[in-house]
Structure 1
Amino acid sequence: MAQNRMRSMVNLANRKMSVKWAAILLASSTLLSSLLGLYRDRLLNGLYLDSYRVGIDAYTVAFTIPDFMFFILVSGALGVSFIPVFNQRLDTGNKKSAWELSSSMINFMALITLVASILIMIFASQLVYIISPGLDESGHALAVSMMRVIAVNPFLFAIATVIASMQQAVGRYMFYALAPTIYNIGIIIGALFFTNGITIFGYQVFEGGIMGVALGVVLGAIMQLVVSAIGLLGVGFDYHFKISWKNKGFRQVLRLLPARSLDQGIDYVNGFVETNLASHMADGTIRAYQQASALSLMPVNLIGVAISNAAFPKMAERLNQGRNDLFMSELRSILRVIIWLALPTAAITFFARGYVVNFIKNGGFPLISGLLGVLVVAILFRTIYHIAARAFYAQQDTKTPLYVSIFSIGLNIILAVVFTQVFGWGVYGLAYAQSLMALIEVVILFCIIGRRMPGFFTRAFVGAVGKMSIATGSMSLITYLTVTLLPLRNNDQNFISTFPKFMIIAFVSFSIYIWVSKWFHLVEADPVVRRLQQIFFGSVRRK
C-alpha cells in the first residue's frame, strides 16, 4: 500500500511538462540551487577565506581534474548528443531500441569514468603540480588528499547524468531539476558537520577540518544519484547490464560525442591555464577568482542554461518533424527572451556587485567584487551562448561549436597570458580575457547562424534587441541612483542587513525596465505584466 502510494506520488511529480513550465521549473530549481550555493560558499569563505587561504585555494584546486573528467566525458557532451538520438527512437515508437541505447550509455559512461576516477587517485600529486605549481608544500599535500576523495564524483555523476538526460528527453523535469539542489545540500552538510569531525559509537573516525567538506562533496554526489534514479519510476525504463555495441543509436551517439567532449574539454583547458597563472599570485587569489566566476555563472545558469535546456528537446523534435520554419521562429523567440532577461541582469550585477559579494562573505571582499564587475560582459554573452550553441546541437552538428570554441579558448589563453604577464594586470587580466572571449564567441556563432539560416536575424529581431538595449540603459541610470541612495555601510556585515537593500535595488530596476519595455511594445514584457496583474488585481476582479 505504502509502495503504491509512493509510486503514485512520484508519477504525479514526474508528469510531462510543456517547454514553458519546464523552463519555469528549471529556472526555479536553478535559483534554489544557486541560493544554496551562496550559502555553501558563505560557510566556506567564513571558515577559511580570511584564516586559511592556502587551504581554501587547495580545496578549489582539488575540484579541477575531477570536474574536467566529468565535463569532458559526460556533462553537456552527453546531453546534446544523446537526447536527439534517444528522441528519434521514441518518436518512431521503437522503445526497445531506446532503452537498449540508454542501458548501453549508462554502462559505457560508468566504465570509462570509473577508470578515469582511479587514474585521478593514482596521479593526483602530479596533476596538482601541473595545475597549480605555485601552491606551497602544505597546500599541495592538502589539494592532493582532497582530489583523491573527490575523484569518485565523475563515476557517480556519469550514471546520474544519463538517467537525467532520459527524463529530460521525455519531458519529465522534476527530479532532473532537484538533483543539483541535493548536491549542494550534501556539501553544506559536510561544511556544517563533517568539518567538526565524525564520531561513531563514541569513536572518532574522522578528525575534521577542511577535508570534511570534501567528504560532503561525495555525499552530495551520492544523494544526487539516488534522487535521479527515483525519477525513473513510471518512465518504463528497461535496464540491461550490458553494452549493445550493435545498437545503431548507441554508435551514433558515440560518433557525436567526441566533438562535444572536446568542446567541453577545451573550456577546462582554459580553466587550467587560469588556475596555473593565479597560483603564482597571492594566497587566496585562486579562490577569489573562482568565486567571482561562480557568481557570474549564476545568472548564466538561471537564464541561459535553464531556458536552453528546457527548449532543446522541442527544438530537436521540430527538426525531426522536418519543420525548419517552426524551428527558426521558436529559436528566434527564445533568443529574444534570453537577451531580454540577460541585459538587465548583467547591468544590475555590475552596479550592485558589492551587495552580491556580501552574500558569500561577511563584509564583502574587494578583489571578488572588482573581478565580478569585469565579468559582467561574460555574464551577458555566456547567457546567450547556450541557446546559440544548441541551435547547432539540435541539428546534430557538434563540430561547428567545437571549432568556434577552439579558436575562442586559444584566443582567451593568449589574452590571459598577455594581460597578466605582459601588461601586469594581475588576476584582473584573467577576467578581461574571459569577457572578451565570451563576446567574440557569440559574435562568431551568430555570423554562422546568419549564413546557415538566411533571414533568421530579421529587422524586427534586430530592432527589438536595440529597444532592449535602450531600456537597459534607462534602467542602469535608475540602478546607479538607487545604489547611491542605499550604500553599503560599515555595519552592513551580514546577509540580513544586505539582502533587503539588494532586493529594493533589483525591484526598482526591473520595474523601470519592464515599464520601458512595455512603452517600446516588447512582447517579452507581456507575460510578466499579466502575471503581476493576476497577483495584485486578480482577487479584486473576482470579487
Structure 2
Amino acid sequence: MIKRFFNSQTKTVTFAALLLGVSALISLFLGLIRDRLLAGTFGAGKDLDIYFAAFRIPDFVYGILIMGGVTAVFLPVFAEYFKKSEKEGWDLTNNVLNCFLLLLIFFCGILAIFTPWLIKFITPGFGPEQKALAVSLTRIMFLSPIFLGMSAVFSGLLHYFSRFLAYSLAPVFYNLGLIIGILFFLPVFGLWGLAYGVALGAFLHLFIQIPAAKISGFKYSLSFNFKYPGLMKIFKLMIPRTIGTAAYHLNLIVITAIGSTLAVGSIAVFNFANNLQSFPLSIIGASFALASFPVLSRAWVNGQKQEFLENFSSVFRQILFLIIPISVLMFLLRAQIVRLILGTGNFGWLETRLTAASLGLFCFGIFAFGSVPFLARVFYSFQNTKTPVAISLASVGLNILLCFLLVWLFSFPNLFQGFIVNVLELDGIGNIGVIGLPLALSISGIFQFGLLLFFLRKKLGHIRLREIRSSFLKIVLVSILMGVFVYLVLQALAGLVNMQTFAGILIQTMMAGLVGALVYILIARILKSPEIRTIKSSILRQFTKS
C-alpha cells in the first residue's frame, strides 16, 4: 500500500495541477493555523518583527541557490540526460545532490559568521536587543536551506516522473514542523523554538520525498565530479536565474529594512498579508506552473512546437480563469478573511485594519503574481533563463523605487493618500506607510507580467494570443458581475448576523463566497467558457482507465 502510494502517477497537466492545488490547500490551511497561532500569541509586535526579519537571510540562500538553481534548471537538463540513457540521468542527479550539499553547507557557514553585520543592514530600525535576538534565530534557520536544497533535487525527479502525489506532501510536512515549533518548542525554548520549528519543517520536507525518488529508480552514490558536463551545464544555466532570484530576495530584504523603520509591527503586518495573498498563488499559479513544466520541457526537447503552444495557451487560460475571480473575492472579503484567520488573542483591531488594507492592495496584482511563475517556466522549458531574469531585475528595480515613493506618499496628507484611506477604510490611523509596500509589489508584478508576455511573443512568434485575449476579457467581465452579487450579499447579511462574533463573520463570508462561486460558474457556462470543459475533461480522464 505504501509503495503504491509513493509510486502513483498523474496523467494530465490539469489533474496534476489540481492535485498540487489540493495539497497546497492543505499546506496553506496549516499555514493559516500557524499564522493564527503566531498572531494570537504575539500580535503584530516586535517579537514577530524579529522572527520574520530572521527569515530573510536563510530565505535569500534558499532563493538564489535552490529556487534560482536546482528547481529552475535541473529538470530540463535531467530530461535531456535521461533521454540519452538512464545511467547518465542518475549520474547527473548524484553529482548535483552532492555538490549542492557541499555548496550549501559552505555558503550557510560563511553567512552564519557574518550574520551580525547582515542583520544590522536589513533591520536598521531595530534596537540592540532585537538585533541580537534576530542574529541567533537566523543562525538556527540556516539549517533550513541545506535540507530544502537536497529536497529540491528530489522534487525535480518527481516532477519528471509525474509523481506529484508524493511531492505534494512536502509543503504539508514543512508547515507541520513549524506548527510543532509553535506548540511544543516555543513554551520550552522561547522565540528560539520558532527557529527550531523551521529547521524541523525543512527536514520533513526532504524526508517525505525520498521513498518516491527511490521507487522512481534513484540510487545514491558518492559522486563529486565538479567537472561533470551536466553539472557544468546546470551551473551555467543557473547563473542568470540566480541573479534574478537574488534581486527578488534583495527586494524583500529592502522591504524588511523599510518596514523596520516604520511603526512597530509593520514587518508582521506585511508578512501576514503576504501569506494570505499567497493562498491562490500556491493553489493555482504555482500548481499549474509546476505541473506544466515537465510537459512543456518534453514537448520542446522533442521538437513538438504545436503541442507546446497548445499546452501553453490552455494552461495560461486556466490559470486566469481560476485566479482572477478569486482575487476579486479576496478584495471584497479582505476584512472578513483577516478577522477570521488572525483576529484572536493579542492581534488587535488596528493590526486587523492595516493587514486587511494590505491584503486588498495585494489583490490588484494577484492575477500577475499567479501567472508569472508559469510564464517564466515557459522560458525555462526551452532553457532560456536570461530573458525572465532580465525582466525580473527590471521589475525588482521598479518595485524598490515604488516602495520608497509610496511609503513617502502615505506619510503625509495628500489627494492620493486620502483616496486610498477612503477606499480601504483607514480613517483615524496615523501611520499607514506599510500599505505602500504591497501596492508597490502589485504594480511591479503587473509590469513583470506584461514584459514576459511581450518577449515570449517575440521569441515564439505566434502564441495564440487572440484566444488568450478573448478568454481574459470574458473572465474579467464575469468576475466583475460576480463581484456585484458578492457585494450585495455582504450588505444584506451584515444586518442579519452578529458581525461582532466569529460565527457571524464566518456565515457572512461563506454565504458571500458560495454565491460568488455559483454566479461565476453559471455565467461562465452560459458564455460557454472553454476552460470549464478543459478542467472537467481532465478530471474525468484521470479516473478513466486507458
Q: Would you say same fold, with TM above 0.5? A: yes
Task: Tell me what 2:516 maps to.
Answer: 509
Task: Tell me what 1:211 maps to.
Answer: 192
Give the deviation of 1:497 after TM superposition: 5.1
| Residue 48 of structure 1 pairs with residue 11 of structure 2 | no
Shift in alpha-carbon separation, 1:529–1:456, aligned structure 2, 3 A: closer
| Residue 37 of structure 1 pairs with residue 31 of structure 2 | yes
Task: Tell me what 1:9 maps to.
Answer: 2
| Residue 126 of structure 1 pairs with residue 117 of structure 2 | yes
Query: Which segment is superposed worse, 286-295 or 362-371?
Result: 362-371
| Residue 154 of structure 1 pairs with residue 154 of structure 2 | no
Deviations 1:206-261 (A, max 9, x none): xx322211111111112222112222231111222122234322221111111111
Shift in alpha-carbon separation, 1:133–1:515, aligned structure 2, 3 A: same
How many residue pairs were aligned? 513
Task: Tell me what 1:196 maps to.
Answer: 187
| Residue 27 of structure 1 pairs with residue 21 of structure 2 | yes
In structure 2, what is the Cα distance between the partners aligned to 1:157 and 1:385?
22
Query: Which segment is superposed worse, 165-174 or 266-275?
Result: 165-174
| Residue 170 of structure 1 pairs with residue 177 of structure 2 | no
| Residue 430 of structure 1 pairs with residue 421 of structure 2 | no
Give the deviation of 1:383 after TM superposition: 0.4
| Residue 61 of structure 1 pairs with residue 53 of structure 2 | yes
Task: Tell me what 1:242 maps to.
Answer: 223
- The AA in structure 2 aligned to 1:97 is E
- The AA in structure 1 aligned to 2:279 is M
Give identity over the alignment, percent: 29
Aligned match of 1:520 in 524, 527, 530?
Answer: 527
Give the deviation of 1:485 after TM superposition: 2.4
Task: Tell me what 1:483 maps to.
Answer: 490
Q: Which runs of 5 or more structure 2 residues have no equivalent in the other structure? A: 412-431, 541-546
Aligned match of 1:469 in 469, 473, 476?
Answer: 476
- The AA in structure 2 aligned to 1:170 is F
- The AA in structure 1 aligned to 2:169 is L
| Residue 418 of structure 1 pairs with residue 405 of structure 2 | yes
| Residue 358 of structure 1 pairs with residue 339 of structure 2 | yes
Give the deviation of 1:480 after TM superposition: 1.1
In structure 2, what is the Cα distance between the partners aligned to 1:302 and 1:120?
33
Give the deviation of 1:17 after TM superposition: 1.6
Q: Which runs of 5 or more structure 1 residues have no equivalent in the other structure? A: 1-7, 198-207, 534-543
Alpha carbons 2:14, 2:535 under 8 Å: kept: no
Task: Tell me what 2:202 maps to.
Answer: 221
In structure 2, what is the Cα distance between the partners aligned to 1:182 and 1:282?
34
User: Cα RMSD over matched residues?
Assistant: 2.1
Task: Tell me what 1:79 maps to.
Answer: 71
Alpha carbons 2:10, 2:162 under 8 Å: kept: yes
Alpha carbons 1:78, 1:162 under 8 Å: kept: yes
Aligned match of 2:328 in 326, 347, 357?
Answer: 347
Please, what TM-score do these two structures have when normalized by structure 2? 0.90
Shift in alpha-carbon separation, 1:490–1:117, aligned structure 2, 3 A: farther
Deviations 1:60-103 (A, max 9, x none): 001000011011001253122010010112223x1111111100
- The AA in structure 1 aligned to 2:98 is N
In structure 2, what is the Cα distance between the partners aligned to 1:422 and 1:349?
25
Deviations 1:124-151 (A, max 9, x none): 2111110011012222122111111111
Matches within 5 A, 1:246-261: 246-261=227-242
Give the deviation of 1:528 after TM superposition: 6.1
Task: Tell me what 1:536 maps to.
Answer: none
| Residue 108 of structure 1 pairs with residue 95 of structure 2 | no
Alpha carbons 1:11, 1:233 under 8 Å: kept: no
Please, what TM-score do these two structures have when normalized by structure 1? 0.90
Q: Give the SS at the match of 2:215.
A: coil
In structure 2, what is the Cα distance between the partners aligned to 1:340 and 1:35?
22
Deviations 1:397-420 (A, max 9, x none): 000001101111101111111111
Give the deviation of 1:491 after TM superposition: 5.7
In structure 2, what is the Cα distance between the partners aligned to 1:176 and 1:135?
39
Q: Give the SS at the match of 1:126.
A: helix
In structure 2, what is the Cα distance between the partners aligned to 1:215 and 1:490?
40
